Amino acid sequence: MDSLVIEGGARLRGTIHVNGSKNAALPIMAGALLASGPTYLREVPNLSDINHQVNLLRELGCVVERQADGQMKIEVTDEKNSHARYDLVRKMRASICVLGPLLAKRKFARVSMPGGCAIGDRPVDIHLRGLEALGAVIDLDGGDIICRADKLTGAEIFLGGNFGSTVLGTANVMSAATLAKGTTVIESAACEPEVVDLANYLNAMGAKITGAGTPRITIEGVAELTGTSHTVIPDRIEAGTFMVAAAITNGEIHLDNCRLGDLLAVVDKLRSIGVIVEKNNGGATISSVRRLEASNITTQPHPGFPTDLQAQFMALLAIADGNSVITEKIFPDRFLHVAELARLGARLHKEGSTVVIQGQKKLVGAPVMASDLRASAALVLAGLCAKGTTTVMRVYHIDRGYEKIEQRLNAVGANIKRVNQEELEL
Ligand code: EPU
């Protein structure tokens, strides 16, 4: 198992290319199950979560290959197996996004029910409610969701829940509705850019979707979808993480392939705490020249502040001047990074789904344990500014969502080594 050993204190300076979005690519890859003919995807990042999705699609009868130019080609060659096994789903709960496409195209799907994960309970009740409204009959057997529908029929569907809408739930219902008979209207749809990217891709396949990016999405069912080519949008969470890397080291990073329009709440927050964010040539430059100010953050569905950057901003506010408050409204238990940041000297007080942060002048390096993807990113960021050495253990979590993070940060001046556990113990 690998660890990252970080010598803190370097000011980062240079350019980083933002990769394609993991969370856009996963449902788009699942959407290829709907196509007759090959699908070609550009900017699919090279990540362990993407590899899990490739393995799942192969089990479901697809030929998936990376071509020499980096494009991913997906082609369905056999529709006999519609079972996403627990073994695969437990490695990556986003596997649930094959449910809608399988049901619509093959009239049957058996997908293992994803369990909870390090960021809390992650039910899929709203996904199932949406598919039932389209006419699916759903049973649970041996921990598997079994979904059947001889035909799907358009319907008016409310997808809101206690914590807002659902991103992958919207992806599942929208994908299934593309082949339903008649019109589907999804109310309280997720507005995330990843949903818009999926809708653009499905439309390029022949679907008739309007309103993606707003809370009301309308889908006119069509008889068939064909393979297409599509470029996945840049990863806004990766971009936001690198923005924090610039801010936390008082550095200056230019981000290529970064859509600031997808990050308005984040940019607004950065500016309010004293970070300079400038838009330029298809990207942005983020710099910081002074001690940052405290601020309060509440995570919300898009276009609000994303839960996927909550941990990284906690690391940043840990060294700001004054007290900050972070409230998590999407995953109220997403706080496993709190105790680890405290090991680096962050002063944090957690009460329910709120954390009060008493800003310190500096953090001090220590061994810490990564618990989930974004928590790991927060620990790496904290390590970049901490005095001395920070060792982030179990970094396989970070490899799920950031491609070669240490190489990309080292290229702009960081000092991070990847070592395996045995080397550490010598
Ligand atoms: N929820 C329900 N019932 C459902 C579905 C969701 O109650 O049927 C609740 C969840 O428990 C949560 C809220 O609704 O409280 C929102 O969850 P959502 O369904 O939107 O999450 P998701 O679609 O499973 C995606 C991202 C997450 C990101 C969330 C929120 C992917 C692959 N995952 O998950 O990304 O945090 O949206 O924006 O797109 C990550 O990349 O680190 C990550 C966890």
Minimum-distance ligand 1 atom for the alpha carbon of 122: 11
Q: Supply the residue whose CA is at minimum distance from atom 26 of ligand 1.
A: 23
Q: Ligand 1 centre and the CA of 109: distance in Å? A: 21
pLDDT for res 424: 64
* 101 prior amide bond cis, ω within 30: no
Q: Helix crossing, 125-133 with 167-177: angle to 10°? A: 20
Residue 97 falls in the annotated catalytic set: no
Q: Ligand 1 centre and the CA of 169: distance in Å? A: 8
- Name the residue of 168, 302, 372 to mutate for ligand 1: max ligand atoms within 8 A of Cβ: 168
Residue 330: other Cβ atoms inside 10 A: 21
Alpha-carbon torsion, ordered 98, 99, 103, 104, to 10 deg: -60
Q: Supply the residue whose CA is at minimum distance from atom 17 of ligand 1.
A: 166
Q: Ligand 1 centre and the CA of 161: distance in Å? A: 11
Q: Ligand 1 centre and the CA of 276: distance in Å? A: 30
State if residue 299 touches ligand 1 by the CB under 6 angstroms criterion.
Answer: no
Q: Supply the residue whose CA is at minimum distance from atom 5 of ligand 1.
A: 124
pLDDT for res 290: 87
State if residue 224 touches ligand 1 by the CB under 6 angstroms criterion.
Answer: no
Minimum-distance ligand 1 atom for the alpha carbon of 121: 11
pLDDT for res 117: 72
Minimum-distance ligand 1 atom for the alpha carbon of 126: 8
Query: How far, in Å, CA of 297 to CA of 308, rounded?
Result: 13
pLDDT for res 116: 65
State if residue 373 touches ligand 1 by the CB under 6 angstroms criterion.
Answer: yes
Annotated catalytic residue within 117, 147, 258, 385: 117
pLDDT for res 120: 77
pTM: 0.97
pLDDT for res 312: 98
Q: Ligand 1 centre and the CA of 301: distance in Å? A: 10
Q: Ligand 1 centre and the CA of 167: distance in Å? A: 6
Amino acid at site 59: E
pLDDT for res 426: 56
Q: Supply the residue whose CA is at minimum distance from atom 35 of ligand 1.
A: 308
Amino acid at site 404: K
Minimum-distance ligand 1 atom for the alpha carbon of 128: 8
pLDDT for res 411: 98
Q: Ligand 1 centre and the CA of 204: distance in Å? A: 26
C-alpha distances in angstroms, 317 versus 226, 293, 322, 384? 48, 8, 9, 14
The terminus-to-terminus CA distance of the chain in angstroms comes to 14
Would you give per-residue pLDDT tens digits along the chain (426 residues)? 899 999 999 999 999 999 999 999 999 999 999 999 999 999 999 999 999 999 999 999 999 999 999 999 999 999 999 999 999 998 899 999 999 999 999 999 999 998 667 777 788 999 999 999 999 999 999 999 999 999 999 999 999 999 999 999 999 999 999 999 999 999 999 999 999 999 999 999 999 999 999 999 999 999 999 999 999 999 999 999 999 999 999 999 999 999 999 999 999 999 999 999 999 988 999 999 889 999 999 999 999 999 999 999 999 999 999 999 999 999 999 999 999 999 999 999 999 999 999 999 999 999 999 989 999 999 999 999 999 999 999 998 999 999 999 999 999 999 999 998 766 665
State if residue 268 touches ligand 1 by the CB under 6 angstroms criterion.
Answer: no
Minimum-distance ligand 1 atom for the alpha carbon of 120: 11
